[in-house]
Amino acid sequence: MGGVEITIWYLQQDEATQIRPARPPAGPVEIVRAEVPSPELNRFLYTAVGGDWSWTDRIPWTWQQWQDWLDRPGVETWIAHVRGTPAGYAELDGTEPGRVEIAYFGLLPQFAGQGLGGHLLTVALRHAWSLPERHGLPPAQRVTVNTCSLDGPAALANYQARGLRIQRTEVRTPGSPPSAPGPWPGAERPR
């Protein structure tokens, strides 16, 4: 029995001038950097945003693995807040010289479809391009991100609308269909 076919798109920008800003959201949104590395916070964001989209690679990470990841120079977490409530986040990884990756990006389910994703991605891209300056790293020559057919239905369109271009596409058929565990065991939301 074969698995579900998954398409992965690898996208890239080659300079900051390629950012195509989204319209600002209708209501106030504050996007701030979490400057104190916090495994608990990042694990919360990872499961709250990715739980419905089969993000499972970091689920088994220990507290120390999260801390080690977040302590690396060039890793940043930017969080969107709506009236004080976390609405989404972008995790940036600038540890590879000349490249900043948007390692994780997305919204908590209750904030999807409100125009926040485009705005958060616009801000995240601006911060990605300026990340090396904040950490004394070589300038970024490209910003990358990947998404797949298991991610939110607006993900690929949002990346392309903000000026990221598909560099390559890959199709995989895993041995078994991936599951979407929800933000905690037993909390899977109906789609």
> pTM of the prediction?
0.90
**CA dihedral of 116, 125, 146, 134, whole degrees rounded to 10:** -130
Task: Tell me whether residue 92 is in a domain.
Answer: yes
Q: Tell me the pLDDT tens digit for each residue of 70-96.
A: 999 999 999 999 999 999 999 999 999
Specify if 2 maps to a domain.
no
Which CATH number covers residue 121? 3.40.630.30
pLDDT over threshold 70, residue 186: no
| Greatest distance between any 2 Cα atoms in the chain | 50
Per-residue pLDDT at 176 exceeds 60: no
**Does residue 77 fall inside a structural domain?**
yes
Mean pLDDT of 165-179: 80
Residue 108 reports pLDDT greater than 70: yes
The total number of structural domains in the chain stands at 1
- Burial code of 158-169, b = ≥16 C-beta within 10 A, e = fewer? bbebbbbeeeee
Distance CA 112, CA 125 (A): 19
Alpha-carbon 71 to chain mean position = 18
Q: Please give the residue range of the domain that contains residue 94.
A: 8-143+159-172
Binned at pLDDT 50, 70 and 90, residue 16 comes out as very high
Q: Note whether residue 153 is domain-resident.
A: no
Residue at 72 is within a domain:
yes
Residue 191 lies inside a defined structural domain of this protein = no
